[in-house]
Amino acid sequence: MKILVMCGAGASSTFVAQRVRRAAADRGLTVTVEAGAEAQILSDPVALDGVDVLLIGAHLAAHETAIRAAADPVGTAVAVLPADIFEASGGERALELALSIQSPTRR
């Protein structure tokens, strides 16, 4: 599974992506987790190719419709991360969210 964690500029998503990688490794799951910025997703139509799950920062919730419009054509599932995702358990919670929304056809 490939997960993309997206924030406004790519900085905070890097921290979340690291925690998700660690949580997946602790479970023995094979996942690729990358960080990205909103502009990258909305301006590059191939930015979501191969991405199974797109997790977007809570501060981008107002842009969810536009983000989903970019993700839906390539079959990428989208979820808004909770605002408190930077707590110690954030990586595990973000991984759980990604696993819960992943399309069964892409598993």
CB atoms within 10 A of CB 29: 12
Q: Which residues pair with 30 in a beta bridge?
A: none
Range scoring the smallest mean pLDDT among 8-12, 18-22, 58-62, 85-89: 8-12
Q: Cα–Cα distance between 107 and 94 in angstroms, integer?
A: 17
Q: Who wins on pLDDT, 86 or 62?
A: 62
State the pTM of this model.
Answer: 0.88
Q: Contact at 8 Å (CB) between 53 and 102? A: yes
Looking at the predicted structure, is the pLDDT value of residue 42 above 50?
A: yes
Q: What is the pLDDT of residue 77?
A: 95
Give the residue among 79, 9, 72, 81 at the shortest CA–CA distance from 40.
Answer: 9
pLDDT band at 56, cuts 50/70/90? Answer: very high
For the chain, which residues make up each domain, given as ranges? 2-106
CATH topology of domain 2-106: Rossmann fold (3.40.50)
